[in-house]
Structure 1
């Protein structure tokens, strides 16, 4: 096994005014080399592979002015541009994960050139090989538990308005009922989330607890109570996808959304960006 950088990759690599964008790292071999020959990267730039330490990184050239720290800051503030970069990044990772076990890099992980990537692979080879062995045969499932209204807002009858102090008192009664409804839904969702965690942890090799989604990031109905990821043996993933949503059946105002299976993003980035030269998300 060659433990040094692949000099042929370095020779054909980053040109003037360019940096090297890293998508994923896997074991050195034909699977990722073949993928690099047929798949584009960010902005349609050609994908290539860089080897080192018995590992292979999928990379592509990107303009240095837009992927330096200042350039990236501007891109991250442009939601349309950020979405385009993220889609291209995830397309490469997903295609690589379909071929072999890989460690997804954080979005917008860039190095000055291919030689820096090869050096990183050699420097971190023990950590990467250990992590690849742990993730072998596993996928990531996302589990979101949400609390929504348990029932429609109670109607305000004309008789109540006239006999109990008018619209102001009726409004207060309605608001109190809505608040009770929200508290009940939140309590029920918390109980369902605890049951979901026990069920998933009985199958999963690891769990990552993420911050509940809010605002534009929230994809499900109601308030996101739990937003977790689980590292699951590939052969058990479909079982969990069926069993977890069933926990919310018959529970008013509570829903469970299961996403995936995905490449193990939540479990693969602890060592992924050491020494990166760009200013991407950390």
Structure 2
């Protein structure tokens, strides 16, 4: 017989060092205006969580502090959560709320972000999970203290899309290809054109990859840690550019001006690619002390 679900679960957003983020600090987070990009969420007394009406709070666990919120099991149990996160709009809303809490906490203290929808049965289970990973959490907090994550993306333009043909242009092109197909050497000429286009594409891609490596080398020189991430596909980038570098860098606070200057110089030199910078972020890519494999719906 399946045991009944508890009336509430505990949603864990992040982990800080004990004492770095006292409960009274949550009230001060209202001033960060973290609600501005979260339309439809209620004004909570502390932080905006996934819109449940309960305040975000801190939970002491030995030398660590978890940032948590009580959520109704009816909306966050395993089946309900799976259904909610299968909806693209609901997934985006939850992800934005999750990120807003982490960003607000990280503005006050070094913060290890936890994965979206990290849920526990009660406060005791949260403390158990943090206790099991106490050493790795403390190491992660030492690693990210006084630092922020920056993202750099490099794209290779593939050129503008071909203009749509009129009916007469299409008919003329078809007639021309038909005429060429029956002429002497026409098949060889066609294959030569195809090979040339393919070779040009490969050369452009190779140049873009080399440019991306130079960008990565410069930014790595400023960072204390770097991580290559999976490039985005055409569904994210669009059909007219190719993602050739997706990287995250952990930089000491105060090096922002050097980073911006370095990328400005790279943009002038690397004219074959597009370079985008984002950040500063909470150090999602460098908080390996997290409990990504430990926080699940009950």
- TM-score, scaled to structure 1: 0.80
Name 1:83's counterpart in structure 2. 92
Match of 1:249 in 2: 268
The answer to whether the 8 A contact 2:154-2:246 is kept is: yes
Give the Cα–Cα distance (whole angstroms) in 2 for the partners of residues 152 and 215 of structure 1: 14
User: 1:111-139 CA deviation, whole Å, 9 max, x = no partner?
Assistant: 11111112222232221111101111111
Aligned length: 264
- Paired residue for 1:124, among 122, 133, 136? 133
Q: C-alpha distance in 2, partners of 1:167/1:98?
A: 67
Distance in 2 separating the partners of 1:218 and 1:94: 25
1:17 and 2:7 correspond: yes
- TM-aligned CA deviation for residue 58 of structure 1: 0.6
What is the CA–CA distance in structure 1 between the aligned matches of 2:95 and 2:15, rounded to whole Å? 17
2:254 counterpart (235, 239, 244) = 235
Alpha-carbon distance in 2 for matches of 1:172, 1:65: 62
Greater Rg by CA: 2
Shift of residue 74, structure 1, vs aligned partner: 1.6
CA contact (8 A) 1:146 1:221 kept: no
Residue range with higher mean Cα deviation, 217-226 or 171-180: 171-180
Partner SS for 2:128: helix
Pairing 1:217–2:236 present = yes
**Deviations 1:46-78 (Å, cap 9, x if unpaired)?**
111110121111111122233233333222211
Alpha-carbon separation, structure 2, partners of 1:63 and 1:48: 15
Counterpart check, 1:29 vs 2:19:
yes
Q: Name the CA shift for 1:164/1:61 in 2 (closer, same or farther; >3 Å).
A: closer
Deviates more, 1:175-184 or 1:73-82: 175-184
- Aligned partner of 1:10 in structure 2 is none
CA contact (8 A) 2:139 2:289 kept: no
Report the CA distance shift for 1:50/1:225 in structure 2 as closer, same or farther (over 3 A). same
Distance in 1, matches of 2:198 and 2:162, equals 10
RMSD: 3.4
Offset at 1:238?
Answer: 3.3
Structure 2 gap segments, 5+ residues each = 28-45, 164-168
Matched residues in 1 for 2:115 and 2:270: separation?
37
User: CA distance change for structure 1 residues 228 and 187 in 2, over 3 Å: closer, same or farther?
Assistant: same
